[in-house]
Amino acid sequence: MSSDNDSLKGFQRICSLKDLHENVGKRFIVNDVEIAVFLVNKKIFVLNNICPHQHSALIYDGFIEDEFVVCPAHGWMFNLESGKTPTGGRGLEAYESTIVEGEVYVKVEEKKYSW
């Protein structure tokens, strides 16, 4: 295995970079986890797609405001990078991503639901 492949250990390809559009989220399911993927200022951000407010799978449909995504249902905000709320609350789980040869890869660990 080349070192390139090694660096993608644990990552899964979800789409091509050209499938993503600036400030428009997209949802995917990886390892049974629903994720929301955003392209903002040419950077990829990956968060859990389930808003903790009412457990709605809506984060991908949120709008981007500075470094936050705003849930379209009732306006809760989450930091794109960390998933945290503006006050530093836990918010959403954030996941690693990388782009290799124009393809987008994410690392999403399977997680037990606590609700």
The contact set with ligand FES (CB under 6 A) reads 51, 53-54, 56, 71, 73-76
The nearer residue to ligand FES, 8 or 57, going by C-beta atoms, is: 57
Shortest Cβ 83–ligand FES spacing (Å):
13
Q: What DSSP designation does 53 have? A: T
Q: Which residues contact 88 (CB under 8 A, 6 or more apart)?
A: none
- Comparison of 92 and 104: residue with beta carbon closer to ligand FES: 92
Give dist(CA 37, CA 72) in Å, integer. 15
Minimum distance from CB of 56 to ligand FES (Å)? 4
For tokens 């250990």, name the residue: 9
Supply the minimum distance, in Å, between the C-beta of residue 15 and ligand FES: 24
Around Cβ 67, how many Cβ atoms within 10 Å? Answer: 15
